[in-house]
Structure 1
Amino acid sequence: MQYWFEGLLIYMSYLMSIGNTVNPGCECVIYQSNGGSTGRFTSPNFPQYYPRDANCILYTFIGDVKELVEITFLQFDMKKATSNNICTDFLRLFLYLDGPGINEHDRHSAELCGVLNSTQKKYYSSDRALILELHADGLPGNFTGFQGRYQFLDKENLSRKELENRQSMLINSPKHEQFVISGTKMHGTQCTYYFDSNNTKSGRLFSPFYPQNYQAMSKCQYHFQAKKGDKVKIFFQNIQLYHTGGSCRYSHDAIVVYNGRDRSADVIGHYCDIQNQVELTSTGRNLFIEFYSDDKNEAQGFAASYTFVGSSIHRSVTTQPKAEPINDLSVSVGVTYQPRPTHPEFNCNKEINSQIHANGTIQSPFHPSPYSAGVTCTYTFTGVGRERVQLKFVHMDLFFNGGNPTEPLDCAGSDSIKVTIPLSGKVVELGVYCGKKLPPVLMSAGTKMTVQFHSESSSKGMTTGFKAVYSFVNNFGISTGERDSRGVCVFNYYSQRESHGTFTSPNYPGLYPRNTECHYLFYGKGKETVHIQFPVFQVEGIGPRCDEGTHSDYVSFSNFADSEDRKLHRLCGASSEGKKESIESDGPFFRVVFKSNDVYDDEGFFAYYQFKGTDNPITPVNNGEVNPGTMHRYDGPSSGSGQRLSTSSLIICLLTLAFLAHKVNH
């Protein structure tokens, strides 16, 4: 214990310097080791109901230098997860900590809710500290919470093999039979499985030892083969991988999904970090999943289900087999009013599958004639592989009851169009649009999108509705560069083919899709360097760090193939008028990464690139208007309007820890 007090003060100074806690209102309950001590911990008021306003309570367990923490739940009764498998009351577990504190960068290892029978009972820390974080949603409910036992274990007396044996016993117990993989394991492999539609039509797959943490240095392969003409649908209910932020391509723990037999096929999914309810469908009969981890910081892993789906549909020969992005920005204007046809009904609920129609149009009932009052139409789009749904409105004339229809501020009480996508286990609105103003060009984050048109009963019957063009695209609406099959959204630019050119964020000039990562790889020759300039830059984020803690989308740069370059800061925020000096590489290779999260979207960027060498001096960029009325300069990361979180609660907790440690030490 002699170095504990000094170490804690150093750690407290570090946390105060970054100034970001998980929640500024967190309360702390501290359990400190006294040489292998043990005891009980409970939720507030246990065994009575825990308070519904328990916003953030941290249970912090701190062992000596050579100790681990073991916790065992004896009773557990919290609000059950929703039908979408989302916990609104939850207890989060932080098992992989370097010290007795957490901030916004620390990812939880598990999130528990429900009852004891559905909950893993025993957990171990990877080091001397373990933290539980309790939250309640504030809504009515009567739940007793939890009671558990903690114990500080001596690392020297508890080998890694013994820990793995304990976990293995838990996984192989009858209560965990639900986590058996449905496929056939290849003899002599760690976790290579084969799934054939001749043996089973559906089933489950998991990371090793799920729901316990996966092992270090895991290398797993899952091979799927459907019968000819069928496809493979994968649904990840839960993904929890250790990730330190930034690009998934740099992550040491990841899941990669290939649209074929092996790694030579196109990548259609690349996942790290924490995600819920992700669905993918192959374009053919084969699908291959690879899961890998490094030698540290294991997490829970993933749980998924699969289904071999029949292909009773065939693409129409009159449609294009490969859809091109929507680049035509023309607007349908001057529509002549025509009396509404006297059709008794108009069935406007449509399910649009990319395998039948790769592109086409949707429109309001009877367009270009007026539509009826009190109508609701739903258009559901479903793609496969890496396809994304791109939607561009070319006509908009809806009954508006709130003022100027060309600049609608509020769609309440007016006819409207709502566009939604499934994202992170929720249905997320991309926007609600009304009046006469054309919505921006939209793109789905995955293979699905829903458009719902609704007219009020008070509609006057004089407006002509809407018309929109849809397209299932494989290139994210990026029209330059050569698409690279090694990633979901990767494009290559070679100086031998084009010495200069342009590139954009996905779906530009529309809103970029959420939860999307695109890589732009520039390959020069000899002593060439790459120069990049952003005449248009509008990426949602808060500078100067543009990190995950501020929920920032960002653009990053690197001179390296497999890691982010720390000397080149990320860019995010809004740009301003003027001229921006170009960003330069150190050598002939350069990587630009665009990454958006699942919270916001924005216009994105338009960029110039040029390979500069001794025989091709850089050409001045034309700073004329690329897009009239939207020309910008990017002067650096925006300061934004975000505020850092308060550190008061963390300081109080750590001062308490310091006092306890100092008392024990003396």
Structure 2
Amino acid sequence: MLSCPLVTIAMGSFLLFTLTHTSQAEQPVYAELVKLNDRSPSASTADSHGFQMRTLDNIVSTNRLRYCIRTYAYCCHLLLAHSRHCDHMYIHTDDGSLNGTFSSPNHPKPYPSNLQCIYTFIAKANYRVKLVFNSFLLSGSSAKCEDYIDVYSMLEKPDIDLLSQPLSGRYCATASPNTVISLHNVVVIVFHVREKSRGAKGFSGVYSFIPDLMYAVGTQMSPQKCHFVIYSSQKAKGIIYSPTYPGKYPFNIRCVYRLIGEPHQRIRLEFEDFDVYFGGDHCPYDSLTVYDGDSYHAPIVQKVCGLQQSLELFSEAENLYLEFVSNNQMSSEHRGFKIAYEFSQRFVSIDQLNGGQFGITHLRGTECDLRVQSSKENEHVIMSPNYPQSYPSTTCTYILDGLQGAQDLEKVLIHFETLQVTSNSKDCEDAYVAIFLNGQDWKTEIPDAKFCSANVATLPDTLESLNPRMTVVLRTSNNSNDRGFKAVVKFETDFGIPGTPASDSNECTFHFNSLSEKEGTFNSPRYPENYPVDTVCIYWLNGKIGERVRIYFDQFVLAPSFSKIDRCADRLELYNVFSNNRETLLGKYCAENYPGPILSAENANRIRAIFIADAKHTATGFRAHYQFIPQKNINALSERSNCAARIVGSISGTIVTPNFPQRYVKDMVCHWEIRVRIGYRILLQPVVLNVEGMMGDDGKSSNCRSAVIRIKNDSSEYSKEFCGEKVVPGIRQFISAKNIMHISFLTHPEKVNGLSGFNFSWTEFTMDEKCNSPDLFRCNFSKYCISSKVRCNDLIDCGEGDNSDELHCKVQEKEEDRTVLTVGITATVVVVTILIVILISVKRHQRMKRAQKRLSNRIHLNVNRLAEHTQVL
């Protein structure tokens, strides 16, 4: 029979298993027990220790066999060769050492292959085992473990079957365990080395046996459960440790700590060290939950996981209930926690802090933090703890929240009646009252203002928040003479409009004054959030005498009206306001009309804007820029663009944008005035329209954000404005009421795309029935009486749908053309005849001269011959 011993802790009195094998095919393998110093199997020894023999078939799934038995022969070879020589036991006795060292075989030289070594550490009652690894290097890598150690730190006794117990961790390569502390008094390490291992230096460490008194905080309710009760009457201060702190805490454990104080006491928890697996924001796996009472039915103060630093929690009253749960089996090497607790009556009294005021609540878990909530336009009083007495060395936060909802938006105003906080520096570094006007996180952000006794003279009478939340932070020093502060908090409706409110009331009226700023912005209530329904806001844009007001918009989105009767339920109305307070309508804009650039009328140094929202629908609203511009600067803009003219004494003409048909530019202010004879009216029609923007096909909706044309009869009448490239209904012609018409063209002062602009024709006309003189022409359909001089000028001067002034112009042109042709032909014939006569005369003259010359030559020849004959004779 082949004997194969294997060491394990699944035994008592330090016994070893041996595996007895007779025949692989026929006989079972028996597990027998032998004494530690006995090298041969002995059934009687096993009987004397009360262990029952078990066949291999019953324990094939146990740790021992799973670790080592691949085949029966190999297991026996492994055990006979190595295992019995590398097992170690470290037992805590009354007269033994409390600490020592342990290491892998041959350390620091490479360990041999084919090993399974078991290290068993047993402390006596009321003690625990602590292991610290000094060096760790095993063959393999963290991605692929070849040789490794298994650690069991949750064993209740040394003779328990390992396979029935949870594995605390497996480690290989260079990833050594952090500090290991037993949950009870036993730790087992199993070192596994494969058959063909390359070997490495292995590991070494220090073990110690430590009292478990630090873990038994308060009174343990059950020896088998991690449940403790801490009474302030027994210990007012102390430390609560997680079960195996600072070692890796066990998984699948639940611990409860009940802290029971006396009436009027509060409890402070200070998290000195906290390292618990972080599984998400709501800590779904491992966590410590703090309940503000004596059971888990109480309100939760906080559920904590992850890494925490400088966390401090306070109870509302005298009891707390702490529950630690670890469910995550992959908790890695997390230490757990170390939490200091203290029962005391010196902590701030909650009742004294809020003064019993409705709307003021203590922030659970803090010592003195308060939240003050508005109940709509009301007031509260807040004070430092123990006011008017000192409360040294503390920090309190006051969160002041105005209403914020679909219909409500408030701002916070605070007035300090008293502020006495002494700092050791002029900059109020160590003691102060800090103000955060945006309600930002005071722990990470810089305050907007900070006050203490050194600079209290600079404290404004009232501080106003920039949104619905303001945060006030009080930090006191150890000065016992400080009184702290007392302040009045007031909540007011906040329309989110940057101007100056007309009064202290919650009326939505704001002023924007040239004396304060020459330009700025104004917007709908709560922009860019949706404006509230059933709202009226008034904006006064107040320029100085001699100034005009220019407005242009960044955004304009109003709720559409679904009523056929009132298409402009939500709207913005603009009025010119003159120095004598006379008002004229400048424009009216609703969801279908995006306003173009706007300029108040000449001599109107103010604009009154009224925003009206009905009770049904809402939208983003608008945001606009305003500028106060002197009239002389307006004139300069027009002169620079060469587009200001006053047309008087003409019967017709055209008006074009500067440089037409070239592109117009930004920041243009153009104005034309046409004035005709009294008793006549003006007809204006677009010939070319090429202005950026868009008009609806019905002519009622428009978006003229960057450039706009406005037509009005006189300075007191509402303008018709339009843009785009299509001549839609409503802008095909314009007729003055009397003999004056104004045309203006404005472009955005910052940016335009620039198109070719426009070309308008105009003519004067009358409806006089007497239109029969030769210099007048009666239009067939419109019945306008126009000057006959504008007939046949390729322009429709009779108005929309009437082209009678351009009829029969082709026949007249043909007759005139025939006359011209006849005259031309006649003139040509005369000129040609004259040229022929001249040419004939010239030719005749030349022939006569040639004849005379020939005759002269003959005479001379005859004379010469006569002379020669005379000489001969």
Answer whether TM exceeds 0.5 for this pair: no
TM tier relative to shorter chain: 0.3 to 0.5
Bigger CA radius of gyration: 2
Q: Which protein has greater RCO, CA pairs closer than 8 Å, 6+ apart?
A: 1
Task: Provide TM-score, normalisation by structure 1.
Answer: 0.33
- Structure with the higher fraction of residues in helix conformation: 2
Task: Provide TM-score, normalisation by structure 2.
Answer: 0.26
